[in-house]
């Protein structure tokens, strides 16, 4: 199918999904972008950036990125490794000597940067603890997007006191590993993480509206949480109780954290940005000799380092650097191709890149948690692939 024909069809299909989701009050607003063969063929803002103020969503509206931060920081680590400033198989203690978490039996295993990048270090998130009860809660470890007041070193010292879930490299658990990696990058360069990301990623790619802080003339959307009969504005702080499928954990949000200049720069969840900026970043990973790297970074990031037997995003999904990697599309029940890398953000985001189709999709919404794990991103995905059929 020619790109021009696909563009027309996919635009109509996504518009229908957007209108249905907004009419049914599944989401408040969104920005969706699609690129095919490196060319942006669809970009559309829908709904409200702030429903109460009747402020319509704009294509360049800014969102709290939460875990959409992770692939950006992962790519920065690869760029620094390419320059010889760090080695991915090196122990974390080469850069952060104090970061020495132990196993339950008291043994102190070696954690490498590769373990951090793949979430196979034996760490977890505080929101993984059932009903907000566990050692991470006892130690008041910040998840990087909450209201806990601590600097990065203090948070990593607290994290170092919590026992590891398993020996590094033997299992998988979504975790604060990218916050630790942010600490490594800071130690290596002797620069704040914000400056590292600026010089390595956002300035070379002209991602002017992406970073760890917001200027006074911000265009930050109002973030909402799922409620009946319609989503409600998220207070600061806001505690979301997860269901049994998510271990009955409690997600602790703080939409105002981004305005706190004392909040540490979380490598796993701390950035703000726009859909066009992130699409620019995503596409930059798919070519050689770019402003980021001489190498095609996507080839490194979209490898299935963690076996799909761990079902990182469900059956059929393993994990790479920055996102889950699709190993078995039939088992995963998805039209995406094997080798697709995908992840999201807990404020309501989803993105993926399908290398076989040369297809990049960015979905940023201001509605948690529907925009990440609900029907909306699945319907967007299916609408796009139906047009490819």
Give me the active site residues, please: 67
Tokens read off for 267: 């490598």
Distance (Å, whole) CA 300 – CA 118: 12
3-state DSSP of 156-175? HHHHHHCCCCCCCCCCCCCC
Distance between CA atoms of 105 and 108, rounded to whole angstroms?
9
Structure tokens at 317: 């999904």
124 neighbors 175 (Cβ within 8 angstroms): yes
Q: Which residues of 273-305 are buried (b: 16+ CB within 10 A; e: fewer)?
A: bbbbbbbbbbbbbbeeebebbebbbbebbbbbb
The tally of CA atoms less than 13 A away on the side-chain side of residue 267 is 29
Q: Where would I find the beta strands (DSSP E) of 6-122?
A: 29-36, 39-50, 55-56, 63-64
381-384: long-range contacts, CB 8 A cutoff, minimum separation 24 = 381/334, 381/335, 381/336, 381/352, 382/335, 383/10, 383/13, 383/14, 383/16, 383/17, 384/10, 384/13, 384/14, 384/34, 384/359
Write the DSSP symbol of residue 64: E
In this structure, the strands spanning 39-50 and 359-365 are: unpaired
CA 312 remoteness from chain centre = 14
∠ Cα 370 372 378 (to 5°): 85
Q: How far, rounded to the nearest angstrom, does the alpha carbon of residue 255 sit from its chain's CA centroid?
A: 16
What are the Cα distances from residue 143, in Å, to 20, 150, 268?
A: 33, 11, 8
């Amino acid at each position: 199918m020619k790109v021009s024909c696909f563009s027309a069809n996919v635009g109509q299909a996504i518009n229908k999904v957007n209108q249905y989701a907004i009419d049914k009050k599944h989401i408040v607003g969104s920005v969706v972008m699609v690129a095919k063969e490196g060319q942006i063929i669809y970009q559309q803002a829908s709904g409200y950036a702030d429903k109460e103020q009747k402020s319509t969503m704009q294509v360049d509206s800014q969102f709290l990125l939460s875990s959409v931060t992770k692939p950006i920081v992962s790519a920065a680590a690869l760029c620094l490794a390419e320059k010889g400033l760090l080695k991915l198989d090196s122990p974390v203690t080469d850069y952060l000597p104090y970061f020495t978490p132990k196993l339950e039996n008291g043994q102190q295993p070696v954690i490498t940067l590769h373990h951090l990048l793949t979430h196979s270090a034996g760490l977890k998130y505080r929101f993984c603890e059932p009903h907000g009860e566990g050692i991470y809660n006892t130690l008041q470890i910040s998840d990087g997007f909450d209201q806990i007041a601590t600097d990065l070193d203090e948070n990593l010292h607290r994290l170092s006191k919590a026992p590891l879930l398993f020996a590094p490299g033997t299992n998988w658990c979504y975790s604060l590993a990218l916050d630790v990696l942010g600490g490594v990058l800071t130690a290596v360069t002797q620069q704040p993480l914000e400056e590292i990301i600026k010089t390595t990623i956002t300035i070379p790619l002209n991602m002017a509206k992406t970073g760890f802080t917001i200027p006074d003339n911000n265009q930050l959307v109002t973030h909402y949480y799922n409620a009946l009969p319609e989503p409600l504005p998220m207070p600061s702080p806001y505690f979301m109780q997860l269901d049994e499928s998510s271990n009955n954990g409690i997600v602790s949000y703080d939409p105002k954290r981004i305005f706190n200049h004392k909040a540490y720069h979380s490598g796993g969840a701390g950035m703000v940005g726009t859909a066009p900026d992130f699409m620019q970043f995503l596409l930059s990973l798919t070519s050689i000799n770019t402003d980021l790297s001489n190498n095609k970074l996507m080839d490194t990031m979209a490898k299935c380092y963690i076996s799909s037997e761990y079902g990182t995003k469900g059956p059929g999904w393993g994990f790479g650097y920055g996102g889950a990697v699709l190993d078995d599309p039939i088992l995963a029940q998805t039209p995406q191709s094997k080798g697709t890398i995908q992840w999201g953000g807990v404020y309501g985001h989803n993105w993926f890149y399908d290398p076989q189709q040369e297809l990049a999709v960015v979905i940023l919404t201001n509605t948690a948690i529907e925009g990440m794990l609900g029907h909306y991103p699945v319907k967007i995905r299916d609408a796009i692939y139906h047009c490819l059929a």
